[in-house]
Amino acid sequence: MKFFLDTANVEEIKRINELGLVDGVTTNPTIISKEGRDFKEVITEICGIVAGPVSAEVIALDTEGMVKEAREIAQWADNVVVKIPMTEAGLKAVHILSKEQIKTNVTLIFTVAQGLMAAKAGASFISPFVGRLDDIGTDSLALIRHLRQVLDQYGYSAEIIAASIRNLKHVEDVAELGADIATIPGSIFPKLWSHPLTDAGIEAFMQDWQSFKG
């Protein structure tokens, strides 16, 4: 399974990338705005740190505007992927861009139908939002399970990025259900390798060692 970092914070990316755990990065306008830095500058810097795909989202909502922005973003680095919102205009843009070999990640997917449409239009990645579905009391894990099933059934190559990950359980669940990728906020990522019993175990071992030595 691949892990992406859902952040534009360069320090977070560098720290976790040094563990060999970062296969890519996703951003959105909210994530970028938190850094207070120039969009192109921060995306270019991240693309230089991480070898895998780095998603940068368009702001335009019309096809022409999205395609124009996407062509520009695609010039920034070889590993940049253009994030496009799941709308009719977005699907049209994805279709145009796929013919130009520009990779896209269709975001804000909440149904199997939306995922299928994005895959069929030519998206390289589709991003179902797990946490936001949980927030409205909808079974987000069923969405991941069904998307996995239909993409495999019809042989679509789009990769499923489980997005809007809020906790460790989300990561474990989407891994079990066959999401290709989980994109994880920097605040959640360390929980993947931590456990209070690990910490308590280390402390007890150290105390016993000190008593033995003394």
Binding site for ligand E4P (CB under 6 A): 6, 26, 28, 107, 127, 129, 131-132, 163-164, 183
Phi, psi of 183 (to 5 degrees): -100, 120
Alpha carbon distance 118, 196 (integer Å): 41
Give CA–CA dist 177/90, Å, rounded: 27
Q: Which residue is nearest to ligand E4P (CB)?
A: 164
- Indicate if 99 belongs to the active site: no
CA distance 9 to 27: 10
- Residue 88 to residues 61, 115, 212, Cα–Cα distance (Å): 10, 13, 69
Burial of 140 per CB tally in 10 Å (0-12, 13-18, 19+) = buried
User: 33 or 199: whose CB is closer to ligand E4P?
Assistant: 33
At residue 5, what are phi and psi to the nearest 5 degrees? -95, 130
Nearest distance from residue 201's CB to ligand E4P, in Å? 32
- For ligand E4P, the closer CB: 138 or 200: 138
Q: What contacts 65, CB < 8 A, 6 or more positions away?
A: 58, 59
Q: Min. distance of Cβ 3 from ligand E4P in angstroms?
A: 13
Given 2, 40, 68, 83, the catalytic residue: 83
Q: Tally Cβ neighbours within 10 Å of residue 153.
A: 8
Closest to ligand E4P by CB, 168 vs 208, is 168
Instruction: For ligand E4P, give the closer residue by CB, 9 or 164.
Output: 164
Residues acting as catalytic residues = 83
